[in-house]
């Protein structure tokens, strides 16, 4: 039996193989979930001038009344400087004219005969957004490798960028295999089960923004597997599920070998997911996930998603864990580190149901995985547990 790798070592060895992809220019609006390949510096200063934060009157120094000499609207500034005792009508976002030192809210103002009086005089600088307080030209506003959110998109646009450089989307082929798999779940003979892993893995990959090519389900047949693998010729990453174990009909390893892939490592000391296979074919990376649906899910979470994120440009692609107390006792752990399907309510964490690696009802209920170290004794109620939320992976 080949030695089982530890999780962190296996992840590190896999990530070292992550494909390096050419860069492309991407419209900022299309950058959601992607990673800028370079630090992004502001091409402009924001705000570009002192702007009013409120609707009211921009006041020159004095105790009032102030003579109303004009208006500054957003996009249409008052052209001149104010002198003592003058004011202009001003709207939110409009340029504060030179000579004005504060903005009086219109709710605190009275206007009669072209003169403005204040019920309370605002402090110096009140309701003025100073030029450049948000960012200045040439400031780094986004670090390379930042995963772009809606806020980052707004910031990059405000900083004067139309497009950003990012790795082109990773091409991922996802193939499920097994003679027992029915492609049509509504037309499944008693000796079959509906193929669900390929669609599940594709759904896990969707938020990462890669391109997914779905292949299969393919029968346990070398010629059929070879034909399917030929379609993965242009994939950067091939993810297979099923046939990774030791059975007579587990043909993935020989089929991958015939295709030209070379095994990098096989088997990791985790439960579920032990028979994980990693291979390369030139710059292509192959991840052979075990067929049990929960094993496929857990290995996709711990290996496939980090690999794809790394290839997309993430400098920090591994899932992040939190600590939560056990809301129920847990049994002792065997030789393999365990990832238990669990439900967290934010206060504590409990098992989602059956921990069999085929149990889809528990997988569907789970919103996190409890990470239990190999050989750990039983955990008591309230014990601190390491937990991976499924949605932040």
**Residue 138: contacted member of ligand LQZAQKY5, ligand MOO, none (CB under 5 to 8 Å, by partner type):** none
**Residue 195: contacted member of ligand LQZAQKY5, ligand MOO, none (CB under 5 to 8 Å, by partner type):** ligand LQZAQKY5
Residues 304 and 43: beta-carbon distance below 8 Å = no
Nearest one of 299, 319, 282, 321 to 208, comparing CA atoms: 319
Residues 307 and 285: beta-carbon distance below 8 Å = yes
292 binds ligand MOO (CB under 6 A): yes
293 binds ligand MOO (CB under 6 A): no
What is the nearest approach in angstroms of ligand LQZAQKY5 to the Cβ of residue 168? 28
- Using the rule CB under 6 A, which residue among 89, 147, 267, 274 binds ligand MOO? 274
What is the nearest approach in angstroms of ligand LQZAQKY5 to the Cβ of residue 292? 4
295 binds ligand MOO (CB under 6 A): yes
Q: Which residues pair with 40 in a beta bridge?
A: 142
Q: Are strands 171-177 and 237-241 parallel, antiparallel or unpaired?
A: parallel
Contact set with ligand LQZAQKY5 (CB under 6 A): 176, 178, 180-181, 193, 195-198, 217, 241-247, 250, 272, 274-275, 290-293, 295, 357-358
Choice between 183 and 389, CB closer to ligand LQZAQKY5: 183
DSSP E strand stretches across 28-130: 40-41, 51-52, 56-59, 66-72, 86-90, 102-105, 109-112, 115-118, 128-129
Which residues contact residue 342 at a Cβ distance below 8 angstroms, ignoring those fewer than 6 apart?
349, 350, 351, 352, 366, 367, 368, 369, 370, 387
240 binds ligand MOO (CB under 6 A): no
Choice between 82 and 181, CB closer to ligand MOO: 181
Q: Are strands 337-344 and 384-389 parallel, antiparallel or unpaired?
A: unpaired
Spatial distance between the Cα atoms of 273 and 393, rounded to a whole number of angstroms: 17
What is the nearest approach in angstroms of ligand MOO to the Cβ of residue 272? 3
String of contacts with ligand MOO for each residue 355-384, x by CB under 6 A: --x---------------------------
- Using the rule CB under 6 A, which residue among 36, 242, 272, 293 binds ligand MOO? 272
**Residue 77: contacted member of ligand LQZAQKY5, ligand MOO, none (CB under 5 to 8 Å, by partner type):** none
Choice between 45 and 355, CB closer to ligand MOO: 355
**Residue 372: contacted member of ligand MOO, ligand LQZAQKY5, none (CB under 5 to 8 Å, by partner type):** none
**Residue 147: contacted member of ligand MOO, ligand LQZAQKY5, none (CB under 5 to 8 Å, by partner type):** none
Q: If DSSP codes are grouped into helix, strand and coil, which group holds residue 318?
A: coil
What is the nearest approach in angstroms of ligand MOO to the Cβ of residue 244? 9
337 binds ligand MOO (CB under 6 A): no
Total of chain residues touching ligand MOO, rule CB under 6 A: 8
What is the nearest approach in angstroms of ligand MOO to the Cβ of residue 202? 20
Spatial distance between the Cα atoms of 393 and 388, rounded to a whole number of angstroms: 8
Residues 99 and 47: beta-carbon distance below 8 Å = no
Q: If DSSP codes are grouped into helix, strand and coil, which group holds residue 202?
A: helix
Give, in order, the Cα–Cα distances in Å from 238 to each of 16, 30, 144, 200.
16, 25, 27, 15
Q: Are strands 193-194 and 277-281 parallel, antiparallel or unpaired?
A: unpaired
56 binds ligand MOO (CB under 6 A): no
**Residue 193: contacted member of ligand MOO, ligand LQZAQKY5, none (CB under 5 to 8 Å, by partner type):** ligand LQZAQKY5
Q: Return the half-sphere exposure (C-beta side, CA atoms, 13 A cut-off) of residue 236.
A: 22
Q: Return the half-sphere exposure (C-beta side, CA atoms, 13 A cut-off) of residue 53.
A: 9
Residues lying near ligand MOO in the complex (CB under 6 A): 271-274, 290, 292, 295, 357
């Amino acid at each position: 039996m080949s030695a089982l790798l530890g999780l962190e070592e296996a992840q590190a060895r896999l990530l070292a193989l992550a494909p390096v992809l050419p860069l492309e220019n991407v419209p900022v609006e299309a950058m959601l979930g992607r990673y800028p390949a370079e630090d992004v510096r502001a091409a402009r200063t924001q705000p570009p001038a002192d702007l009013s934060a409120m609707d009211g009157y921009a006041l020159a120094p004095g105790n009032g009344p102030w003579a109303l000499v004009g208006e500054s609207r957003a996009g249409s500034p008052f052209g001149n400087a104010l002198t003592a005792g003058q004011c202009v009508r001003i709207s939110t976002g409009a340029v504060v004219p030179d000579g004005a030192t504060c903005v009086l809210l219109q709710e605190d103002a009275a206007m009669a005969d072209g003169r403005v009086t204040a019920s309370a005089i605002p402090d110096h600088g009140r309701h003025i957004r100073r030029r450049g307080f948000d960012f200045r030209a040439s400031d780094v506003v986004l670090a390379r490798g930042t995963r772009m959110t809606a806020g980052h998109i707004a910031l990059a646009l405000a900083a004067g960028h139309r497009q950003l450089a990012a790795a082109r989307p990773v091409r991922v082929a996802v193939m499920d295999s097994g003679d027992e798999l029915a492609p049509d779940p509504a037309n499944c003979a008693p000796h079959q089960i509906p193929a669900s892993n390929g669609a599940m893995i594709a759904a896990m990959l969707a938020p990462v923004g890669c391109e997914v090519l779905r292949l299969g389900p393919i029968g346990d047949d070398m010629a059929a597997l070879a034909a399917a693998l030929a379609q993965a010729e242009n994939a950067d990453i091939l993810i297979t599920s099923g046939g990774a174990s030791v059975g007579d009909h587990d043909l993935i390893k020989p089929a991958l070998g015939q295709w030209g892939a070379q095994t990098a490592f096989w088997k990791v000391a985790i439960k579920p997911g032990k028979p994980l296979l990693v291979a390369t074919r030139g710059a292509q990376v192959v991840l052979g996930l075990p067929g049990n649906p929960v094993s496929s899910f857990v290995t996709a979470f711990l290996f496939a998603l980090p690999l794809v994120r790394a290839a997309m440009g993430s400098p920090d692609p591994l899932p992040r864990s939190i600590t939560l107390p056990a809301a129920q006792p847990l049994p002792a752990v065997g030789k393999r580190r365990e990832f238990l399907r669990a439900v967290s309510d934010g206060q504590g964490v409990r098992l989602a149901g059956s921990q069999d690696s085929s149990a889809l009802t528990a997988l569907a209920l789970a919103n996190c995985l409890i990470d239990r170290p190999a050989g750990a004794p039983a955990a008591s109620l309230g014990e601190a547990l390491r937990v991976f939320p499924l949605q932040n992976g």
